[in-house]
Amino acid sequence: MKRKPIFTLIAIVIAIAIYSYDFYLNSKLEEGIVNEGQTVKESTNEYYLPTSTTHQIVHHQNYSLSYSEAHEQAEWVAYELKSSHLSSTNHKRPYFEIDENVKTGAAHWRNYKKSGYDKGHLCPAGDRRYTKAAHDETFLTSNISPQEHKFNAGVWNRLEQKVRYWAKKNDGIFVVTGGVLSGSMKAIGTENVSVPNQFYKVILDNTNGNIKLLAFLLDHKDSNLPLYKFVVSVDEVESLTGIDFFPELEDDIETKLEASSSYKNWSF
């Protein structure tokens, strides 16, 4: 019976030790959370990503996207395009593959067969020629949208080439592009892939810390008009899509730049 106080003392010591260890772990956890919140975002891709209305963002090695299951395509695809990314290398065109990273299931390429529409790249293969892996990654079905051939090979192609020009001239820009997935739209294939009536492209240039924005909104048809005729404010594209394009920008800068449809600081 005399051992009872000893067992009690041991139990108290163990209880204190467990409490102290739990307190230590919780403080480290809180410290980690605080430190994480204070970490400066160094990745351009992380900093400039738009919001997702679908809550399904997929990060690939060379671009990110927000997938819309309702329309079986990305509502936006975003990537950085540097001058070092530009290459004239012609890689062999691969077959399109289903994006296995889309948890709800990306559309099959067969939806496009005999539909009368091209498999229109959102992140162009021409922007990712610097390696074969980067080039081939653009041939995922999550990165395509139904496009009329004359549009895809015409005014849309002209805009893609102009984007490469700005990337080279400004040594790097950030590009967000997609179809406007709203209103009454046609659909193709057994999975009812929506055919957007309009496509947009939003470009951010941050040369020497001097941020400028430029947005394009094109009807889904070919046109011979000069590209500056399709310039709109970022606010207009946001209103049509419900997407907040650059939420990480300081509010006053974001408000001012996104309301403007001026293109005077961009060379056409």
**So where are the chain's domains?**
1-39, 44-259
pLDDT value of position 14? 59
pLDDT of 27 higher than 80: no
To the question of domain 44-259 being in CATH 3.40.570.10, the answer is yes
pLDDT in tens, 185-217: 999 999 999 999 999 999 999 887 789 999 999
> 37-49 burial string, b = 16+ CB within 10 Å, else e?
eeeeeeebeeebb
Q: How far is CA 169 from CA 162, 205, 261, in A?
A: 10, 11, 21
**What is the chain's length?**
268
pLDDT of 8 higher than 50: yes
pLDDT of 171 higher than 60: yes
Interval 241-264 mean pLDDT? 91
pLDDT of 256 higher than 80: yes
pLDDT in tens, 213-230: 999 999 999 999 999 999
What integer best gives the mean pLDDT of the chain?
87
pLDDT value of position 26? 43
pLDDT of 37 higher than 50: no
pLDDT in tens, 51-109: 999 999 999 999 999 999 999 999 999 999 999 999 999 999 999 999 999 999 999 99
